[in-house]
Amino acid sequence: MDKARYLVEAHLEEGRSVSELSAMHGVHRSWIYKLLARYRAGGEEALAARSRRPRSCPHKASKEIEQVVVELRHELSRNGHDAGAHTIAYHLAKRFDHVPSVATIWRILKRNGLVEAQPQKRPKSSLIRFCAELPNQMWQADFTHWRLADGSEVEILNFEDDHSRLFLASDVYLTVTAQDVVSTFQKACDYHGYPASLLTDNGAVFTGHYRGGKVLLESELERLGVVFKNSRPYHPQTCGKVERLHQTLKKYLAKQRPAKTLDELQHQLDTFRDYYNNIRPHRALDGCTPLQAFEARVKAKPSKPIENPHFRVRKDKVDKTGRVTLRHDSRLHHIALGRAHKGRRVTILVADLDIRVVDEEGEVIRQLTLDPSRNYQPLGST
């Protein structure tokens, strides 16, 4: 027996007063009088608990809005884009003057069975977020694997700005080499300026310090005055932003027709990068696009001014005496590398008088400043 029926029967059957029942059971007298009126009008069935839901809700989202929310959810998911409530609200604002709150959109999605519970996720309060203060203060770089339509594996090299999440560059290669890293890095710098620092993991194409050497990227960053940072081994969370970018990119690619060639995959990467930077609102940026966040503040710069020397790249083979040749101002110079390298294929990178000789694995064999007055550059010279 519920409380309402008990109070009614206590008054009608036992003759106990409304005041007595109110004081004894901690309820207001007016509620008991309402129960009695309902009982006399409809019997015991009228005493059942009634819904407190209002008969009308003037600010409730219209059927049209609800339908568009569901359609946007399916469209964004089908194209491999983020389809959360924040993103849907961003797209709704382009169609309607009055847009429901993010919470309302989430409830619409849940009501239509489009939200799956994810109890395995860590609560947001447990996360510590690190972010550069300015655009170009720090970039993150890493490469990830993908497969073409025929099953052959390729590698995608990505660069991202830590502050604004701007997708700086995305290039596909059969296998990423040290030279590819510098090439993509330089291309990103041509569009967005040079960063003050660069963060990568300890991949062989990024660093050679654990092998006691130096790869092309390290040498290039040193020349430019860009601070080079490496993540802790086996700790991908340090490069978490670019790792998360890999996940978002692969979600998009999985919804596209499998690319048959590198050029076709590169076109897909370029299309996604344009959408990511210019159209997709980013939750970590309070709904701004990465490009808006990148352009909103002054840009950080390397610690020393960037010069623009004359660049040249030359392929060569180390001769039997352990030397390679290079012409400067119409004069031929011989650069000593050591007999241990004879017969090796090398790449000579020239920036005016700054010379670097790199092997096929990207290891810097020798770095020197050319002395134009000497035909022979011995090993002891720097």
Q: Answer yes or no: do 143 and 290 share one domain.
A: yes
Contact criterion met (CB below 8 Å) for 6 and 14: no
Q: Of how many residues is the chain composed?
A: 382
In a domain, 122, yes or no: no
pLDDT for the residue 309: 62
From the list 188, 211, 209, 213, the residue with the least C-alpha distance to 198 is 188
Q: What is the pLDDT of residues 96-142, one digit of tens each?
A: 888 888 888 888 888 888 887 776 666 666 666 678 899 999 999 99
Q: What is the pLDDT of residues 2-21, one digit of tens each?
A: 888 888 888 888 888 888 88
pTM of this structure = 0.62
CA 46 to chain CA centroid, Å, is: 58
DSSP for 45-87, please give it: GGGS------S--TTSPPHHHHHHHHHHHHHHHHTT---SHHH
Q: Answer yes or no: do 270 and 170 share one domain.
A: yes
In order of 174, 177, 184, 230, 359, the CA distances from 157 in angstroms are: 11, 10, 8, 16, 21
Q: Does residue 381 have a pLDDT over 70?
A: no
pLDDT for the residue 308: 58
Q: Does residue 174 have a pLDDT over 90?
A: yes
Q: Answer yes or no: do 34 and 150 share one domain.
A: no
pLDDT for the residue 165: 93
Report the pLDDT averaged over residues 345-357: 88
Q: Does residue 226 have a pLDDT over 70?
A: yes
Q: Answer yes or no: do 274 and 369 share one domain.
A: no
Say whether 252 sits in a helix, a strand or coil.
helix
In a domain, 97, yes or no: yes
Structure tokens at 341: 């390298």
pLDDT for the residue 94: 83
pLDDT for the residue 306: 59
pLDDT for the residue 180: 92
In what order do the strands lie in the sheet containing 323-328?
A: 323-328, 331-336, 376-377
pLDDT for the residue 159: 97
pLDDT for the residue 135: 94
Report the pLDDT averaged over residues 304-328: 79
* Domain total in the chain: 4
In a domain, 250, yes or no: yes
In a domain, 252, yes or no: yes
pLDDT band at 313 (very low <50, low <70, confident <90, very high): confident
Q: Answer yes or no: do 258 and 348 share one domain.
A: no
Q: Does residue 294 have a pLDDT over 90?
A: yes
Report the pLDDT averaged over residues 320-339: 85
Contact criterion met (CB below 8 Å) for 243 and 160: no
Other CB atoms within a 10 A radius of the CB of residue 325 amount to 13
Q: What is the pLDDT of residues 20-34, one digit of tens each?
A: 888 888 889 998 898
Structural domain for 40, as ranges: 3-47
Q: Does residue 330 have a pLDDT over 80?
A: no
Other CB atoms within a 10 A radius of the CB of residue 82 amount to 18
In a domain, 129, yes or no: no
The sign of the torsion formed by the CA atoms of 131, 132, 133, 134 equals negative
Give percent of the chain above pLDDT 90: 38
Q: Answer yes or no: do 274 and 164 share one domain.
A: yes
Specify whether the backbone of 80 is left (phi greater than 0), alpha (psi in -120 to 50) or beta: left
CA 285/CA 296 separation, integer angstroms: 12
In order of 73, 187, 196, 230, the CA distances from 134 in angstroms are: 33, 21, 10, 20
Structure tokens at 288: 């701004």
Q: Answer yes or no: do 246 and 177 share one domain.
A: yes
pLDDT for the residue 195: 95
Report the pLDDT averaged over residues 228-249: 87
CA 128/CA 354 separation, integer angstroms: 42
pLDDT for the residue 219: 86
pLDDT band at 194 (very low <50, low <70, confident <90, very high): very high
Q: Answer yes or no: do 275 and 157 share one domain.
A: yes
**Is beta strand 227-230 parallel, antiparallel or unpaired with respect to 197-200?**
parallel
Report the pLDDT averaged over residues 157-182: 94
Q: Answer yes or no: do 172 and 277 share one domain.
A: yes
Structure tokens at 295: 């352009």
Q: Answer yes or no: do 268 and 207 share one domain.
A: yes
